[in-house]
Structure 1
């Protein structure tokens, strides 16, 4: 998996994560098989509800959506591939743009192995928390449902397992539909990575040092370390207005897709998920406070307000649907020019005015 010039030894990261990963909740073989089967059924059931609510449908002739129910090591394997697919081309683009020569094999091996161990530690922690994920990078196109984490969470929350599994699937199937119904979305995100590389003045060696510091700080965050003297996360790589503009665009589109999924998973109502209100209330309690995931994401982004923008995504989607209906909101998928700007996330009427050509009165 790892190339000789890679910033991170992803093979080592995967092995480290597998070694450090905690076992999932205790279940019998029969119980585990039932969970896998029910998650597949829930994902299939969710498709019709998500399409009906959103008005989106996969493009004709596109790839067949794939659902994979995985364990924690399976999630690790998928994400080492995805992270390699995201970061390695960035390194190569930097080197090519600056005409640099790769460092010697010894320097590369030492640096990439150190970063690989750090990355493996972070993956080992995250793989116990993620409930589901649509693979955008790497192999791409698969919807992953992490069975042990779903079972562990539903037990901890004390909620109805059938309702909770469908509720989770509604969220993840929404992500799947976003990328299968909007074929330009994935290339757009990939273009932003390339744009970030083109706008940077960092050498690959300096980038390696910054990313090593960043990954190390993520490990500190997972273990509960403070933000004192922490590096600036991704913002440490940002030097000029072009890079800041790229980061704003990525933040806006990720806020959009997350807010859209949150809107859908609650929008289906109790006719589809009878205990949806209880699920939302208890799940919101789970998210409260500054937990490890919050610390990791804040450290990664390097700026507290960036986390708020992810929450703003739901405000944006709800606001636009209230002002312009679902058909009006779906104009956001017409092309990159219709994506929200960062400042529009908390001002949906501003997006409506810019994209739809009118500024409706906001109800008091």
Structure 2
């Protein structure tokens, strides 16, 4: 293939290098250092709105929720800075790459194409299209923080006027929104596709690539950019085949993250100390406010009860990533010589804990690292050789059919099980899963207007 980068051009954004220099480093992941006064200015503006709106919120009974997502969006967009328009040629080329990848994937998996739309996203587009999913992931932890804030107040403070409690709750939501906004702003410039973190963050069926991040990623590799783009398009398309045609997968992934977050305990001692010594007048002091946001009291503490849930999630992520790697390698291996090297590069990128893992660890207390990705890929490859791709992909019919963490360490027994065709009890399990999916769908439908309870 040609080395022309599908319409990418290093000159598209003249401020790229300046943004890199100005962006926060790992030691300041949320950009709340002393030099980040524009963001703090927005925070103080929000504080004024919070004070003026506390009484109104209490009297009306409305709540802005545990996270100030408006602030999160504003800070994320502010940290992104200049966003160059995506050239039409780049959009067309990526669309062509996805279509080509889908054609090649047809011969490597029994699952049909799952993409209904192809998109090229700027960092701002990524935030707009993934924020709803981030809300679902972050709300459980933020709700705990909001509750703890109120419960940790001294008894005499609890007897004061209601607007004070509303102010405390809004302050927690603002602090978490500030962290979320800064983290997502940084992450939006580094993710390569909509499924880069292993979760379906974007709209269902939309295969989206991030041209600016892809260009930077490709610039450090020896492979032609056109091959890198096709490889990433194939990975994106393969993820959507799973998420679109394995109906339980997306909800189980998000539910597992959600339940994990709900079980996390917050370090009460730090919050109690801060709440008891809290002086509302200090919020007029920029230095005091900055110190508050940097105290780290909002970082959740993982409990032993979460260990099992974490193992299940890591195993499921490894199985997804391993399956994608196996299918993409089979589809592209003979067509793009650098497929194996690109797969290994992405595996190391995930295993070393990139920006996605750091973001989840900070916001949800969870590291999304598929620690057994190599073992999972090996299992899928061996299963394909022994039973064929139809039998391999049929394993995704029900979560009970998937390999366990122990199967990844010793896949021979699992492969023998699949080859032997032992599906005892699977019919009833699938029927139960279908019933659950129908019940979930019906629960989302509007109530019958003739229903007296509606």
Aligned to 1:14: 73
Displacement after TM superposition at 1:280 (Å): 4.7
Match 1:176 to one of 235, 240, 246 = 240
Aligned to 2:87: 32
CA distance in 2, matches of 1:293, 1:341: 27
Displacement after TM superposition at 1:257 (Å): 1.1
The answer to whether the Cα contact below 8 Å between 1:14 and 1:120 also exists between their aligned partners in 2 is yes
Alignment of 1:101-180 (within 5 A): 104-134=165-195, 136-137=200-201, 139-180=203-244
CA distance in 1, matches of 2:236, 2:368: 25
Displacement after TM superposition at 1:307 (Å): 4.7
User: Using a 3 Å threshold, how does the CA distance of structure 1 residues 304 and 94 change in structure 2: closer, same or farther?
Assistant: closer
Q: Tell me which structure has the larger Cα radius of gyration.
A: 2
CA distance in 1, matches of 2:350, 2:314: 21
User: Using a 3 Å threshold, how does the CA distance of structure 1 residues 65 and 153 change in structure 2: closer, same or farther?
Assistant: same
Point out where structure 1 has 5 or more consecutive residues left out of the alignment: 210-229, 360-364
The answer to whether the Cα contact below 8 Å between 2:187 and 2:356 also exists between their aligned partners in 1 is no
* CA-to-aligned-CA distance 1:254-290 (integer Å, 9 cap, x gap): 1111111122232224543254356456x36973995
User: Using a 3 Å threshold, how does the CA distance of structure 1 residues 118 and 286 change in structure 2: closer, same or farther?
Assistant: same
Match 2:315 to one of 214, 236, 252 = 252
* CA-to-aligned-CA distance 1:41-88 (integer Å, 9 cap, x gap): 1112211222320111258xxxx7222211111112223221103333
Match 1:333 to one of 387, 396, 420 = 396
CA distance in 2, matches of 1:57, 1:245: 33
Aligned to 1:82: 133
- Secondary structure in 2 matching 1:68: strand
Tell me the TM-score normalised to structure 2 length. 0.59
Point out where structure 2 has 5 or more consecutive residues left out of the alignment: 1-61, 152-161, 272-295, 423-454
Displacement after TM superposition at 1:299 (Å): 4.3
Aligned length: 318
The answer to whether the Cα contact below 8 Å between 1:251 and 1:310 also exists between their aligned partners in 2 is no
User: Using a 3 Å threshold, how does the CA distance of structure 1 residues 344 and 305 change in structure 2: closer, same or farther?
Assistant: farther
Displacement after TM superposition at 1:136 (Å): 2.5
Displacement after TM superposition at 1:308 (Å): 2.0
Displacement after TM superposition at 1:4 (Å): 3.1
- Secondary structure in 2 matching 1:157: coil
The answer to whether the Cα contact below 8 Å between 1:90 and 1:193 also exists between their aligned partners in 2 is no
* CA-to-aligned-CA distance 1:129-175 (integer Å, 9 cap, x gap): 21102472564442221111112222232432221111100001000
Q: Are 2:349 and 1:287 equivalent residues in the alignment?
A: yes
Aligned to 2:303: 238
User: Using a 3 Å threshold, how does the CA distance of structure 1 residues 159 and 250 change in structure 2: closer, same or farther?
Assistant: same
The answer to whether the Cα contact below 8 Å between 1:66 and 1:141 also exists between their aligned partners in 2 is yes
Aligned-residue CA RMSD (Å)? 4.1
Match 1:349 to one of 395, 407, 412 = 412
Match 2:104 to one of 27, 31, 49 = 49
Displacement after TM superposition at 1:196 (Å): 4.4
Aligned to 2:371: 308
User: Using a 3 Å threshold, how does the CA distance of structure 1 residues 302 and 345 change in structure 2: closer, same or farther?
Assistant: farther
Q: Mean Cα displacement is larger for which, 311-320 or 143-152?
A: 311-320
Tell me the TM-score normalised to structure 1 length. 0.71
